Amino acid sequence: MALSIFDLITIDRVKDTTVAGVDLTFDDGSAYPDSLFEDAIAQSVSLLETELGIIIDPFSIKGERHDVDIIDRNAHYPLSLDLKPLKAVDRLAIRVGNSSAEGEFPTSWASIASRQHSKINLLPDSGAESALRFSSGVPFLVGDVFSPYSRFPQYFSIDYTAGFTFEEGSAVIPQGQSEVSISLTNTFDTRPNILIEITDAQGGSGLRTISAGANSLTVAARVAPTTGDLTLNYTVHNVDPLIERALLLLSAILPLNIAGDLIAGAGVASQSISIDALSQSLATTASATSAGYGARLIAFNDELKKVTKTLRGKYSQMNFYAR
């Protein structure tokens, strides 16, 4: 069950999809080591995160600093956090320079403008207006003629969690019933991806998701259990399917390059055998400068360019606005 991107993009999934049909053995017949695929997957995750400026697995950031300009109060202090997508704002505070003293204020003031781009505004909620104050001459969210400062570098200190959301659990469809409603711990603001599997059928069979909401889903059995309860496991996540596809394409490059070099034997592009009047020749697309699976790699690179272009347009955003 998936709690991480590495539970979604697995060695078996790479072998069953983007490198399907390829002989994944060395000349001596031994299989490629798992470490080869593990490294390929890990490098693919790191590369795609850097390319898109995102974090895939949840990661907690402590004390990220942001400047403040009093003129920004007219826009309720728009802030673009460094890592995206945004899962939750965990702590809000102000800090001047390298002082260890911090003035903390409610996380409910963080109004999330875009989880996808990690954009927030600082907007006092009801009942908090009295907290708009001055502290030792330093403007706390607002300022006027009594304050000598209008701009502070690294003024806001923010703790937050970035990354996609993963949740797993189990549920039971009672004997004689055909569906179960599941309340999720997390709230998904985009359509989630749902994986379900039967662990104990007891006369029931087949599962399908018949409805899904921000924090709930309903799963039905195609055949209701007749001899006992039907137990199922579920995984819910909001990783973009295009991100999964990009990672599968990237993870295939290393094993395909190795397999292409060994397609007819290490360093062999063609070979022939002759016995008396009988002869047999074999030539491959491998050469000193071309991999044996070059056509597949070219197709994958073309697809990867389209996928990453789409993802870059989705997650990238210019961070400027008129004052």
What tokens appear for 119 in the block?
A: 């954009």
Buried b (16+ CB within 10 A) or exposed e, 148-185: eeeebebbbbbbbbbbbbbbeeebebeeeebebebebe
pTM for the full predicted model: 0.80
| Band (19; pLDDT cuts 50, 70, 90) | very high
- Is 212 among the domain residues? no
What is the pLDDT at residue 119? 94
Closest CA to 37 of 248, 266, 301: 248
- Is 196 among the domain residues? no
- Is 145 among the domain residues? yes
**From the centroid of its chain, how far is CA 240?**
7
Q: What is the mean pLDDT of the chain?
A: 83
What is the pLDDT at residue 151? 77
**Alpha-carbon distance values, 84 to 29, 55, 275 (Å):** 44, 6, 65
Beta strands 230-237 and 193-200: pairing type? antiparallel
Q: Are 180 and 252 in contact (CB under 8 A)?
A: no
- Is 146 among the domain residues? yes
- Is 41 among the domain residues? no
Our count of domains for the chain comes to 1
What is the side-by-side strand order in the sheet with 110-114? Answer: 78-80, 119-122, 110-114
pLDDT tens for 24-51 read 888 788 999 999 999 999 999 999 999 9
pLDDT higher than threshold 70 for residue 320: no
- Is 156 among the domain residues? yes
> What is the domain range of residue 116?
59-162
| Band (219; pLDDT cuts 50, 70, 90) | very high
What is the pLDDT at residue 122? 87
pLDDT tens for 226-237 read 888 999 999 999
pLDDT higher than threshold 50 for residue 238: yes
234: left (phi over 0), alpha (psi -120 to 50) or beta: beta
What is the pLDDT at residue 128? 47
| Of the listed ranges 2-6, 128-132, 178-182, the one predicted with least confidence | 128-132
Q: Is 104 exposed, middle or buried (0-12, 13-18, 19+ CB in 10 A)?
A: exposed
- Is 312 among the domain residues? no
Identity of residue 104: E
- Is 257 among the domain residues? no
